[in-house]
Amino acid sequence: MEEPTSMPRRVTTPFSRPMASSTPFSLQRPNTLSKRVDIYAQASSPFQQEVQRNNTPIFSISPKDYNLWFDGNDVERFIERVENIAEIEGASGRDIARQISFWTKDQDISYHIEGMPGYETVYWEKSKLNMKRRWGTVLPKIRYKLPSITQLFTKIKQEGGIKNMSQYKVFFGEYEFIITYLKRYQYIQADINHNEEMLASLSSNVQESIFKEMIKDNAMVQALDGGYIIPRLEIL
């Protein structure tokens, strides 16, 4: 008999984090034989492709630092914020799964989370799925869709357009929030240039001032017919 081919040795560096298992944090597929579709099992997550790291120390995240506590309401929003914090802090799904029961001041909720499948195995995707099934609504809360961008521009134009920097900061902050949401939930796959819509959302006086400044700074490209091409949103 032929000797089995030996597996290549894994090369590690002082900067690599040990990976004890290659099992991804994937969601369970809903039972195709069931007539009832599990809406939560079909959701996507940035932690799905994560590898379990059973031997890696837990990365501690303090809910007090973010004043975020789960009280049994709006579980979808709570989970979304927890995952955002984890991404900012560089924590993993395993880190969340081990600490999620501490992110509540209600002892009964904490005990309930610790008794769910996924907690003992430190498996965030399973814990999250069971939290949504226990405290979630029948349908997931959808905050924005593609028409939300058009509605935002329409609303500001009906109010007379952006007239000063304070209004612009508020408006652009809401615009960026909607774009980030649509990208996160894959309503849009790439950057969308809303330069014309953004320019039209400004008051006529502000538009005139911006045109003068962009022409002065050679920021606008002249078209073949003598008109000007509005630059990308970043320049605008």
Q: How confident is the model at residue 73 (pLDDT cuts 50, 70, 90)?
A: confident
User: How far is Cα 69 from Cα 103, in angstroms, rounded to an integer?
Assistant: 5
Q: Which of 7-11, 20-24, 210-214 has the lowest mean pLDDT?
A: 20-24
Q: Which of 64-68, 114-118, 162-166 has the lowest mean pLDDT?
A: 64-68
Q: Which of 3-17, 111-125, 216-230 has the lowest mean pLDDT?
A: 3-17
- Please indicate whether residue 81 or residue 55 has the higher confidence score (pLDDT): 81
* Reported pTM: 0.45
What confidence tens digit (pLDDT) does each residue in 193-213 have?
A: 888 899 899 999 998 888 888
Q: How confident is the model at residue 20 (pLDDT cuts 50, 70, 90)?
A: very low
Q: Which of 20-34, 36-50, 83-97, 98-112 has the lowest mean pLDDT?
A: 20-34
Q: How confident is the model at residue 140 (pLDDT cuts 50, 70, 90)?
A: low
User: How far is Cα 6 from Cα 9, in angstroms, rounded to an integer?
Assistant: 9
- 178 has a pLDDT exceeding 70: yes
pLDDT value at position 59? 72
Q: Which amino acid is at 226?
A: G
Runs of H (alpha helix) within the chain: 75-89, 93-99, 107-114, 124-135, 147-158, 165-184, 195-200, 204-216
Mean pLDDT value of segment 145-149: 90
Mean pLDDT of all residues in the chain? Answer: 76
The answer to whether 236 and 195 are in contact (CB under 8 A) is yes
- Please indicate whether residue 3 or residue 197 has the higher confidence score (pLDDT): 197
The answer to whether 219 and 235 are in contact (CB under 8 A) is yes
Separation in Å, CA 11 to CA 14, 18, 22, 42, 126: 10, 11, 16, 36, 31
pLDDT value at position 139? 60
pLDDT value at position 62? 78
- Find, among 113, 150, 148, 106, the residue nearest to 128 by Cα: 113
User: 229 pairs with which residues across the strands?
Assistant: 221
The answer to whether 24 and 51 are in contact (CB under 8 A) is yes
User: How far is Cα 235 from Cα 30, in angstroms, rounded to an integer?
Assistant: 46
- 9 has a pLDDT exceeding 90: no
Token readout for 158 is 């009906």
